């Protein structure tokens, strides 16, 4: 278990499923104690509806999430060098993060989180796959950063 960083950037392939889930869960667990953002390698998708649904089940709101890429991040005023930690949730995003951070002293961690998109036949099977991803993110977060200040979260 490591100490809580001041700022974390979660990244995945499209910033539509895993990284927004991680961003939302981190904000719920640790509130304003950590500045949290998320990005994707690409941004041509909208926030995934199943991701929104399974996060609502645990009180995490993703409906207003705006998908963005690494390239757009700087346009929005966030600079990679401003983050203490980058957490990559997919191999492609890990490569991109390492490529972009080679000039900064910045920690990049890879968390192998299941990509639920395209898994499961029918709504219930799809929701089960997304819940598994959500629960993997939650477990990894608590393992890495410790229990949230308000353990009832």
Per-residue pLDDT at 76 exceeds 80: no
Average pLDDT, the chain: 89
What are the DSSP E strand ranges found in 13-132?
35-40, 85-88, 107-110
Cα torsion angle, 76, 92, 18, 124, sign? positive
93 contacts 41 by C-beta, under 8 angstroms: yes
Other CB atoms within 10 Å distance of the CB of residue 39: 29
Lowest mean pLDDT, pick from 16-20, 43-47, 123-127, 149-153: 149-153
Per-residue pLDDT at 136 exceeds 50: yes
Domain residue extents for the chain = 7-145
Of 37, 99, 24, 91, which Cα lies nearest the Cα of 69? Answer: 37
Q: Which CATH number fits domain 7-145: 3.90.320.10, 3.40.50.1000, 3.40.50.2300, 3.40.50.970?
A: 3.40.50.2300
What are the DSSP E strand ranges found in the chain?
7-12, 35-40, 85-88, 107-110
pTM: predicted TM-score of the whole model, two decimal places: 0.91
């Amino acid at each position: 278990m490591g100490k809580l960083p001041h700022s974390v950037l979660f990244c995945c392939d499209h910033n539509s499923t895993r990284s927004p889930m991680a961003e939302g869960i981190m904000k719920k667990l640790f509130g304003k104690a950590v500045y949290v953002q998320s990005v994707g390698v690409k941004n041509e998708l909208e926030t995934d509806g199943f991701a929104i649904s399974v996060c609502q089940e645990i009180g995490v709101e993703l409906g207003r999430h705006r998908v963005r890429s690494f390239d757009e991040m700087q346009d929005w005023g966030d600079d990679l060098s401003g983050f203490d930690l980058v957490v990559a949730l997919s191999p492609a995003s890990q490569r991109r993060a390492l490529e972009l951070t080679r000039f900064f002293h910045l920690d990049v961690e890879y968390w192998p989180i299941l990509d639920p998109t395209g898994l499961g036949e029918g709504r219930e099977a799809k929701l089960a796959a997304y819940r598994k991803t959500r629960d993997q993110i939650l477990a990894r977060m608590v393992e890495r950063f410790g229990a949230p200040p308000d353990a009832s979260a």
